[in-house]
Amino acid sequence: MNYTPTNFFSGSPLNRLSWLRPSHKFLNAIIASPNTRWLLFKAGPTTSYVSTKLAYLPTRTLLPLLGPSPYFGQSQRAGELLSQSDITHHTEAARHLGVPVVFLGLHETGHGSALPETEFKEDVEAVVNKLEGTPYFAVDEDNVKLEWGEPRSAMGLLDGFEAAVFAEARSMVDWNFRHKFCAGCGAPQYSMWGGWKLSCTRLLLPWGDNHAEGKKPCPSGKGLNNYTHPRTDAVVIMIAIDQSGEKVLLGRSARRKFPLKFYSALAGFIEPGESFEDSVMREMWEEAGVRVWDVTYHSAQPWPYPANLMVGYYARADSTKPIRTDLDNELMDAKWYTRDEILAVLEHQTGTKLDFKKFSQKEKLDEQQQAAALREQQERWRQQNQQNPGEGAGALAHSDPNIVAKQKDGLVETVQEGEPPFRVPPATAIAGMLIRDWAERKIGFPPVQAANL
């Protein structure tokens, strides 16, 4: 592969400053910056909009929601900072009072600097004032009067910057929203490290009850526990290419309520003890009954629904072998499609159009507008045929895959097809990129000799 794909939701523009997350001094200073902006979510999945754009709010508008300062490094009582003697690895930048918030990072407008943690031990405000850029935070709160929207339906409205910031924010807010109780003992959890770590309230020393009489210590107090840190679930998503290099295998999910003619790449979660390549081969067999080889990496895409990493692959397969979807019954159907068939759908005006609000409705052009457009086209083509026979409807129909030339009563008529024969994912999804890059020959797969099958 001679180019590097850049997928939607990837390419984060933020310096996440992860080494400063345990510093309550840094977080308290940067949250109060007049340049800081917030992305709001409502009950995890939805986000706020202003005129179909993501809403970024300054800190001053959220002060009633955030509660009294300090916002990080909170002591037992509101408005008090932890004493130095109470700071342990269980209280680093602790926020146990008020809604959890997430520090996303800094969008640097200058050249940036290392910003070592030692700089924040003295004059913190002076250091923060030297920062060049915009700090970003996220919070989950539905008690704010804003217009809320379902983000999947607005993906086409986001630019690359907004998509990458949204992906980080949505995944982190969702993680904090879902994990309110300790997986080790069931006690409530509180936020640390600017929303990047959760800890059990029984460990919140010196007033925690981890050593109370009759209670066993919370197991999260020892060792490294994956439930105290954000997790990303890896998913392989793949397309099989046949021995000629000219066909791809796509499937229609039996579980998702996609449009009837929607076909996409196959996908599945990585299981314990598997490599990515192992998972690709297993999923292709389980879902479509197809044996694959030559598993080749394409690219990866963060997918914030809620926190997945889609790892894209191609693999080779024999299209003469039967397809079967009755093993795990995750696919309603699977088919081999030629390059020409895929290209025709990609060029169709609705071939990659998905409306998450109207999955059950067919997406059709307005009939009156369509009829008027056709009449105008037919009149223009008749005039062209009279002047230049052979360069009218037939020529235009050949050049536009959405226009089909038909013969009727000795005249050539054209019909604008309202629906493509099937649909594929848009370029905002890695499945759409896998399909498009193969169809447009950005990825080369030469024919495989029969002797090598």
Same domain, 346 and 400: no
Same domain, 195 and 210: yes
Is position 11 within any domain?
no
Same domain, 241 and 144: no
Residue 233, SS3 per DSSP: strand
Is position 37 within any domain?
yes
Q: Give the per-residue pLDDT at 73.
A: 95
Same domain, 113 and 181: yes
Is position 379 within any domain?
yes
Cα distances (angstroms) measured from residue 142 to each of 67, 97, 188, 347, 445: 16, 18, 21, 41, 50
Residue 404 φ then ψ, to 5° = -115, 130
Is position 263 within any domain?
yes
38: tokens are 């917030």
Same domain, 57 and 204: yes
Split the chain (453 residues) into runs of 10 and give each run's mean pLDDT.
83 94 94 94 64 83 93 94 86 93 92 65 74 93 71 79 95 94 92 96 73 73 82 97 97 81 97 98 98 97 95 98 95 97 96 65 42 53 53 38 44 56 95 98 82 49
Same domain, 315 and 384: no
Report yes or no: 40 and 165 within 8 Å, Cβ to Cβ: no
409: tokens are 């009563």
- Please report where in the chains the tokens 């594929």 appear, as a residue: 424
Q: Give the per-residue pLDDT at 409.
A: 45
403: tokens are 């226009």
CA nearest neighbour of 341 among 434, 243, 250, 446: 250
Q: Give the per-residue pLDDT at 256.
A: 66
* Neighbouring-strand partners of residue 248: 241, 337
| 165: containing domain | 18-228
90/113 Cα distance (integer angstroms): 29
Is position 428 within any domain?
yes
Same domain, 162 and 208: yes
Residue 209, SS3 per DSSP: coil
Same domain, 218 and 238: no
Residue 206, SS3 per DSSP: coil
Long-range contacts of 197-200 (CB under 8 A, 24+ apart): 197/21, 197/92, 197/228, 197/229, 198/227, 198/228, 198/229, 199/90, 199/94, 199/228
184/54 Cα distance (integer angstroms): 37
Beta strands in 222-366 (DSSP E): 233-241, 247-253, 266-269, 292-303, 308-317, 331-338
Is position 264 within any domain?
yes
Q: How many residues does the chain have?
A: 453
Same domain, 125 and 181: yes
Total structural domains within the chain: 3
Same domain, 433 and 383: no
Q: Give the per-residue pLDDT at 398.
A: 37
Residue 380, SS3 per DSSP: helix
CATH of the domain at 309: 3.90.79.10
Same domain, 70 and 210: yes
322/38 Cα distance (integer angstroms): 53
Q: Give the per-residue pLDDT at 372.
A: 53
Is position 330 within any domain?
yes
Same domain, 266 and 168: no
Q: Give the per-residue pLDDT at 56.
A: 92
- Please report where in the chains the tokens 């770590």 appear, as a residue: 197
Is position 7 within any domain?
no
265/312 Cα distance (integer angstroms): 9
